[in-house]
Amino acid sequence: MLKRTPLFEKHVAAGARMVEFGGWEMPVQYSGIIDEHTAVRQRAGIFDISHMGRLMVRGNQAEEFLQHVATCNVSAISLGQSSYGLLCHPDGGIVDDIFVYHLPEEYLVVINASNREKDWQWLHAHTAGFDVEIVSRSDRWAMLALQGPEAEAILIQAEESGAGSLSALPFHGVALSALFGYTTLVARTGYAGEDGFELFFDAVHAEEFWDRLVGLGAKPCGLGARDSLRFEPCLSLYGHEISDTINPYEARLGWVVKLDKGDFVGREALARIKAEGPVRRLTGFEMIGKGVARGDYPVHNLDGELVGAVTTGMPAPTLGRPLGMAYVPTALSAEGSEFDIIIRGKPVRARAIKMPFYTPRYKK
């Protein structure tokens, strides 16, 4: 049985096309992926992301515990701020990518929907020796993403006081607010390459939140637009650009590995990988020949040898041309390098280009 969010009936009633994603029945599109993508780039869109995991980490050694399991420097996350990070295996492979929010007396950790059970087990397996408690809020809270250049104006209208205090929330900031009269945790974070917010609140209010935000101008968006929006700024998706068998330096995520913060799970392997240099690397590419690359398509070098695979590929809606990301040998990852994507059994020439394809417009 596929799991459903508190907004499932609302999605169906709105005519959304529902698909399986990470064990959940989720909307892939409403009016169309391009239409929804454009709405977020130009105005504002709203996404139901209640399928993601929300864990509270608390206790006297919550900070020390998170320092031990995460690659980012949790001690450097100020109260009311958040940070992107990774959980890594001892060999350096990525368990999951996470967001850590520093709240009064506890931390909120957001994890991927498909990894909810795996991460829960993995985190508990590393609690020995720490005075820490991990509590799930995944079922109790709903989670929405309001993204786009008009997101702030919409959210200010939703504030109970109407004072516009959320306009002062910094990038990656997190604060308690009252939206539509309900206590809401608001974070200036997102996954679209635009300014925007993620909202956490009691799940019983999900339908009212959804309807009222749509009424204020937010366009309902599905997983299809969420994927194309994160693709253009080259944001990683678990199971595609990152996985248990991919390390951060291959994935161009070395910036989130803080080797100088002290010991943590995977540090020894990651230090070695950094020193030696990864043998393969994620690269962005554009199609020179006619064709569209898709995930899992083989990559051959110009001698016809299999050297890698596409992680994500599509015609980028904002940029108007077919682009992709792929793992290739490090030497082939340099800008200007050429290789072939095998499309329906035939090699089609591609060229490595600068990442990201689209420059994010976060409010900083």
Residue 79 pLDDT: 98
Mean pLDDT of the 277-300 span: 98
Check pLDDT > 90 for residue 163. Answer: no
**Amino acid, res. 257:** V
Q: Is it the case that residue 164 has pLDDT exceeding 70?
A: no
Residues 28 and 222: beta-carbon distance below 8 Å: yes
Decide: pTM greater than 0.75: yes
Average pLDDT (216-233) is 98
pLDDT average, residue stretch 95-105 = 98
Determine the average pLDDT of the residues in 194-222.
98
pLDDT attached to residue 251: 98
CATH number for 279-353 (one of 1.20.1290.10, 2.40.30.110, 3.40.47.10, 3.40.50.150): it is 2.40.30.110
Instruction: Reply yes or no on domain 54-136 having CATH 3.90.1150.60.
Output: no
8-49+139-231 folds as Gyrase A; domain 2 (3.30.1360)
What average pLDDT does the chain have?
Answer: 97
Q: Where in the chain is the domain with CATH 3.30.70.1400?
A: 54-136
Instruction: Give the pLDDT confidence score for residue 310 in this predicted structure.
Output: 98
pLDDT digits (tens, 9 = 90+) for 114-143: 999 999 999 999 999 999 999 999 999 999
pLDDT tens readout for residues 308-354:
999 999 999 999 999 999 999 999 999 999 999 999 999 999 999 99
Which part of the chain has CATH 2.40.30.110? Answer: 279-353
Q: Detail the DSSP E strand segments found in the chain.
A: 17-21, 24-29, 45-48, 53-58, 82-88, 94-103, 106-111, 133-136, 141-147, 174-179, 182-187, 196-202, 219-221, 280-287, 298-300, 306-316, 321-329, 338-343, 346-353
Structure confidence at residue 165 (pLDDT): 84
Domain with CATH 3.30.1360.120 in the chain: 8-49+139-231
